[in-house]
Amino acid sequence: MSEFAPDAGFRKNRKLKDALLRHKAFSKDGFSERLFGLLFSGLVYPQIWEDPDLDMQAMELKPNHRIVTIGSGGCNMLAYLSKAPASIDVVDLNPHHIALNRLKLAAFKHLPDHADLVRFLAMPNEKSNSRAFDRHLSAKLDETTRNYWNGRKFGRRRVTVFDRNIYETGLLGRFIGAAHLLARLHGVKLREMTKTRTIREQRQFFDEQIAPLFEKPVVRWITGRKSSLFGLGIPPQQYDELASLADDHSIAPVLKHRLEKLACHFPMSDNYFAWQAFGRRYGTEKEGPLPTYLKPEHYEVIRANVDRVNVHHASFTELLAREPAASRDRYILLDAQDWMTDTQLNDVWREITRTARDGARVIFRTAAEKSIIEGRLSPSIRDQWDYFEEKSRELTALDRSAIYGGFHIYGKKA
Helix (H, G, I), strand (E, B) or coil at 356: strand
Half-sphere exposure of 238 (CA within 13 A, CB side): 26
The 3-state secondary structure of 210-272 reads HHHHHHCHHHHHHHCCHHHHHHHCCCHHHHHHHHCCCCCCCCHHHHHHHHHHHHHCCCHHHCH
**DSSP label of 62:** -
Q: CA torsion 86→143→318→364, rounded to 10°?
A: 60
Query: What letters, b where the CB count within 10 A reaches 16 and e where it falls short, cover 236-264?
Result: bbbbbbbbebeeeebbbebbbebbbbbbb
Per-residue pLDDT of the chain (414 residues; tens, 9 = 90+): 445 555 555 455 555 555 555 655 556 555 455 545 555 557 888 999 999 999 999 999 999 999 999 999 999 999 999 999 999 999 999 999 999 999 999 999 999 999 999 999 999 999 999 999 999 999 999 999 999 999 988 889 999 999 999 999 988 898 899 999 999 999 999 999 999 999 999 999 999 999 999 999 998 888 776 665 655 656 656 666 666 666 555 678 888 999 999 999 999 999 999 999 999 999 988 888 999 999 999 999 999 999 999 999 999 999 999 999 999 999 999 999 988 889 999 999 999 999 999 999 999 999 889 999 999 999 999 999 999 999 999 999 999 999 899 999 999 998
Nearby residues of 129 by Cβ (< 8 Å), 6 or more positions away: 119, 120, 159, 162, 163
Helix (H, G, I), strand (E, B) or coil at 320: helix
- Residue among 360, 393, 386, 399 at smallest CA distance from 60: 360
pTM of the model: 0.89
- Residue among 274, 265, 270 at smallest CA distance from 289: 270
